[in-house]
Structure 1
Amino acid sequence: MSPLPSTQTPTLGNTLGAIFLAVVLSCILFGVSTLQVYHYYHYYPNDTRVHKISVGVLWVLDATHLSLTIASTYHYAVRGFGDFAGLQIVTWPVKLAITINVIIVLLVHSLYTSRVWRLSGYHRGVIGYLVAAVVLAGSGIGVVLAIESWGLRTWADSAAMDWAVLASFAAGTAIDILLSGAMCFYLRKSKGAGMRLNSRISTLIQYTLSTGVFTSAMSLACFFTFILMPHNLVFLSITYLLTRLYVNSFMAMLNARQRGPRTGTDSDAYALSRSHPTSGVRVSTVAFTHGSAPLAQPRDVERVRPPLSTAPNALS
């Protein structure tokens, strides 16, 4: 049998070294996400309770995932130094980190899907249903991967779940691309005659594209490194970074909105979108104005307040 290529041969550099570098970069990205969480709670105090709780849960899960990666790295690099038999065992922090990674990705994708659903005007069009179906299928693959990981005893046993790993990376890439495309499509449809409104929407489109490109590129990197270098841990180190990027991407999307105290109500935004369909402010903008200062509106638009009982909550 011919020897393995140098890119596949397990070495100290592409196993423990790759994990160590991933942990260092993960700590930096965790600091960035923590700062974004602080900015969110400071500048958007009027957001819905669902979003406030979701952001808090994401931060806790992110911190827990980082702690588990540090603990597993310490176990293999320090406590298991020189114990070649022990290095083959998959410890529980690694398994729990995989599970939390699946939960984080599922939560972020669900929050993005809810935004697409509201941008589409709920039951209008098929894109919202398509996005929901793809996210649901990808979530099922992630759950299978998390369950299968708890059955691992050694790293060699992971060969039996290669299909689940590859399917999870492929599904993540497809979902990221689909979510970014759907959100940009509906945001572009929301543009109208207002210059400031169009400027804010263009900013949201730029954030959506940039974050979608980053997460999709990292998912593809995990996919190809797992195929090309299955005998080392480079793909696992990229997975650690991917988890941080998912949290940062969603926080960047929330913090891209206009800051400042609210000057209107949800009912005002809903009435504006309903009573002036040609003004460039449609139902899709409500998903990005709830809980913060509304986007700038054309001056020639008259506000009409409907009864509170008839105005749906955009983000609940």
Structure 2
Amino acid sequence: MPTFDLEKFIGPAFIVICISFILYGLGLAQVYFYFRTYHDHPAIKLLVILVCILETLHVAFCIHMVYTYLIIDFADPGSVLNIIWSTGASIFLEIIISGLVQSYYIYRIRCLCKSGYVFVYLISVVCARIAFGFRATAYGYPVTTWEAMSALRSYKICVNVSLVFNVVADSSITFVLIFYLHQSHVSARVRSTRNILYKLMYYSLSAGVLTTLTSVIALILFHVSKTTIAFIGVLEVMTKVYANSMLAMLNIRQGLKLEREIAVNNGLSLRLTDVSKQVIVQPDVRMLFTPSSNTSIY
């Protein structure tokens, strides 16, 4: 690190981590709403529980990191330059949580699209991101200081490749998901069906843009901020963005169900056989329009 300034070094990361705590609270509220509202397949429930547990552990590691730097080492500002174990542990969890969320989106795409090439491509990109992310984080254990870490060329390469793969994964997942939903939207003959598909596209685009933008910001800060660990703070908040985006996509079904019921009460047909003669929308989307939508795997 060229010049050490305690406030500049850890201040931005501290602010972003505080924001991640707020997002964690929003995520807990979404988990509560989900279990009060839906009766999904046990696999989906297990995914939500697992993400919630990992998010809680992630917050605990972030608190430990902040507490160590700002309370325990308060009288020794120079100790902030040391890498503590909870920093690496929190980033490991961020990689796992983002991988789980991306895998869930890939599963949804698999239900929409039976193309094996698309599925293999997306899985390969996500696995590459996880592999390089784990390797980059592993450097933080044999290396004890941020200055020594930043001097490692292999560490920089792994971080860059990991974040680039993350951007490619998020943008690819968003594009493919919207592409197939758009096909269904164009083919739909019933206006209310098109409106619901349009909302699905809107939510998918919003979630994809947020996660992709977070990865891009982390990548930029990693290159620009040479005297701060602000990019670590962005990585910490990234996991909350992923978790909240997945939970939001699960929880919007209640609003879509109400819209379907209103349309039915007005005498509108929402049969998905009008969408296309080919089955473009698979059971996960189809069940949004049936009375048993609460059991949807979407």
State the TM bucket, normalised to the shorter chain.
Answer: 0.7 to 0.9
Judged with a 3 Å threshold, the aligned counterparts in structure 2 of structure 1 residues 278 and 212 are, in CA distance, closer, same or farther, namely closer
Indicate if the aligned counterparts of 2:284 and 2:296 stay in contact, CA closer than 8 A. Answer: yes
Corresponding residue for residue 223 of structure 1: 219
Q: CA deviation at 1:281?
A: 8.1
Comparing both structures, which one devotes a greater share of its residues to helix?
2
Q: Which amino acid aligns with 1:190?
A: S
Gaps of 5+ in 1: 264-271, 298-312
Residue in structure 1 matching 2:52, options 47, 59, 63: 59
Report the TM-score, using the length of structure 2 for normalisation: 0.84
**Structure 1 consecutive aligned stretches of length 4 or more whose deviation exceeds 4 Å:** 276-281, 313-316
Residue in structure 1 matching 2:27, options 11, 33, 36: 33
Q: CA deviation at 1:201?
A: 1.2
Matched residue SS, 1:189: helix
1:42 paired to 2:50: no
Listed as ranges, the matches of 1:115-134 within 5 Å are 115-120=108-113, 122=114, 124=115, 126-134=117-125
Q: CA deviation at 1:92?
A: 1.1
Corresponding residue for residue 134 of structure 2: 143
Matched residue SS, 1:284: coil
Q: CA deviation at 1:289?
A: 4.5
Q: CA deviation at 1:130?
A: 2.1
1:183 paired to 2:177: yes
How far, CA to CA, are the matches of 1:158 and 1:41 in structure 2? 43
Using the aligned pairs only, state the percent identity: 24
Corresponding residue for residue 162 of structure 1: 156
Indicate if the aligned counterparts of 1:34 and 1:59 stay in contact, CA closer than 8 A. Answer: yes
1:91 paired to 2:87: no
Indicate if the aligned counterparts of 1:203 and 1:256 stay in contact, CA closer than 8 A. Answer: no
| Cα-Cα RMSD | 2.8
Q: Deviations over 1:257-309 (max 9, x none)?
A: 24569x9xxxxxxxx87xx476478352422355xxx3269xxxxxxxxxxxx
Which structure is richer in relative contact order (CA contacts within 8 A, separation 6 or more)? 2
Judged with a 3 Å threshold, the aligned counterparts in structure 2 of structure 1 residues 84 and 177 are, in CA distance, closer, same or farther, namely same
Q: Which amino acid aligns with 1:239?
A: L
How far, CA to CA, are the matches of 2:116 and 2:191 in structure 1? 27
Gaps of 5+ in 2: 262-270
Judged with a 3 Å threshold, the aligned counterparts in structure 2 of structure 1 residues 252 and 228 are, in CA distance, closer, same or farther, namely same
Report the TM-score, using the length of structure 1 for normalisation: 0.80
How far, CA to CA, are the matches of 2:128 and 2:100 in structure 1? 14
